[in-house]
Structure 1
């Protein structure tokens, strides 16, 4: 209780007087100091986001909720409110990038959530085409004998019909699997081969869907902000979410074989251990977790 009270006093009084003193000394507002004092990326955008959310000014507080189309007007309104000259192009450009990243993150989450809520529909031709594409990418020399067949177990589904395995993550789980197999085909086939290890094997597709849930939860709780703010200086797109997923699949496979689990029955324990490892990496304001960067020589 005492710690909470001290934190409250700091936020309410100390921060106010510190900002007032710094403005008096530098003749610049907090937003100006942040934008001039740090390079583009997560550290800057997270600081701007915190400053706007903590402001007593309604215009500044609402800035973290603007949509892409409103960003330009929002920048002008903030500059007017803080009495910053409109000809200050550096401030204008940098604040615009921060607001695009902030609004883009929220929009990306909504887009990911929309895909997650779409159930796999075997009567939907597009859904079926994606599923067949996944098979063809992973098993180029193995023809499916039927749509419902035990062959699906060869790429790590649980039963004769993969549609039942997508219930948790919906179409998002399938799209992630296809994206990785399409853009990193050699790696996907190699990991599929690893998953068939006689002692350390695991269900490739099921684990892939499980990692979709991990990527989704990290996006939802804001843990992916540092990674995405460092990755794209503008609006994060679905492509960037897929790329992060690819990183998880690649790194989990390495992690699994390094840990040498006693059996697949211990999967949940090692999944959580891997999850904690990723969350730890994401605490670094300079973090970038993509397969492209991981594989650079």
Structure 2
């Protein structure tokens, strides 16, 4: 309770006067100090985001919702509002612009991810069907699929004879993640599939993959992935960056599962939650970068 009271007092009163005192002592506003005092990445962008959110100035608050093509004009407006002279602060404009690209880009990326999640897999859509068959060819290049509806789908971890029913929760996002991993990290994806098909330590490759898509989606929706994207993308994050994060989760979960040696797949939820907590702990590190590193990278 005391913590909430202190937070209210600080944000409502003390923070304003503290900023006022420091500005008069240093001759610089909070945004200037943030943009010059921290290197590019999560710490700088997170602090800039908080500063803009907490500002009593409407121009600064609305900057967080500015479209990408208006960001440069938005930064100029902020500089006028805060009386920041370009000649005295030559790097400020560029640094703030990058922060805003990251902040607004994260919101835009989530909208794209959400749209993809809402897109239902349609077996009558040739593009959807082609992507599903591509997944099979990438993972099982030496095995011919006997028919579109077949028990063979179980060999790559789907539950039934027709995979379309497994995409209900995550829509096309789940399939696109699976294909992206298999296409861009083919060797690693096939390695993970071989572990998933282990007679004792195995798990349903595709179903677990879709479950990991849900994990990535939930982390993004909550804002937990901001530090990762702010550290790894110096600008506007795109869908491929989300898919690359998924690849990290798919590869690392497999390593985690093999190392933990669960008694059976019946304990999946327990180990899934443990892995989820490990990821969330990583995301609390300001320097976090959840990038897939294979043996070839080391």
Q: Does 1:36 align with 2:36?
A: yes
SS of equivalent to 2:36? helix
Distance 1:261 1:175 in 2: 28
Establish whether residue 198 from structure 1 lines up as the match of residue 199 from structure 2.
yes
Q: Secondary structure at 1:94's aligned position in 2?
A: helix
Partner of 1:139: 140
1:75-116 deviations in Å (ceiling 9; x for gaps) = 011000000114443100000000000111000000000000
Spell out the pairing of 1:221-236 with structure 2 (5 A cutoff): 221-236=222-237
- 1:267 maps to 268
* Number of the residue aligned with 1:11: 11
Contact in 2 for aligned 1:76/1:86 (Cα 8 Å): no
- Aligned partner of residue 286 in structure 1, secondary structure: coil
Q: Which residue of 2 aligns with 1:103?
A: 104
Q: For 1:294 and 1:193, how far apart are their aligned partners in 2?
A: 17
Question: Aligned partners of 1:171 and 1:6: how far apart in 2?
Answer: 45
Contact 1:134 1:181 in 2 (8 A): yes
2-structure distance, mates of 1:50, 1:64: 10
Alignment of 1:256 onto 2:287: no
Q: What pairs up with 1:1-297 in 2 under 5 angstroms? A: 1-87=1-87, 88-292=89-293, 296-297=297-298
C-alpha distance in 2 between matches for 1:13 and 1:30:
16
Distance in 2 (CA, whole Å) between partners of 1:132 and 1:82 is 56
| 1:121-149 per-position Cα deviation (integer Å, ceiling 9, x unaligned) | 00000000000000000000000010000
Paired residue secondary structure (2:177) = helix
Measure, in 1, the Cα distance between the counterparts of 2:295 and 2:289.
9
Task: Write the distance in 2 (CA, Å) between the matches of 1:292 and 1:179.
Answer: 16
- CA distance in 1 between partners of 2:209 and 2:2 (Å): 45
CA positional deviation for 1:2? 3.0
Distance 1:286 1:295 in 2: 23
Q: CA deviation at 1:5?
A: 1.4
- In the alignment, the residues of structure 2 paired with residue 89 and residue 110 of structure 1 have an alpha-carbon distance, to the nearest angstrom, of 34
Provide runs of 4+ in structure 1 moved above 2 Å. 86-89, 292-296
Give the Cα separation in 1 of the matches to 2:90 and 2:100.
15
Count of aligned pairs = 297
* CA-CA distance at 1:296 after TM superposition: 2.5
Shift, 1:295, TM fit: 5.8
Moved more, 250-259 or 79-88: 79-88
- Which deviates the most, 85-94 or 128-137? 85-94
State the alpha-carbon separation in 2 of the partners of residues 74 and 259 from structure 1: 50
CA distance in 2: counterparts of 1:5 and 1:48, whole angstroms = 24
Gaps of 5+ in 1: none
Length-normalised TM-score, structure 2: 0.98
Structure 1 CA distance, aligned partners of 2:2 and 2:94?
42
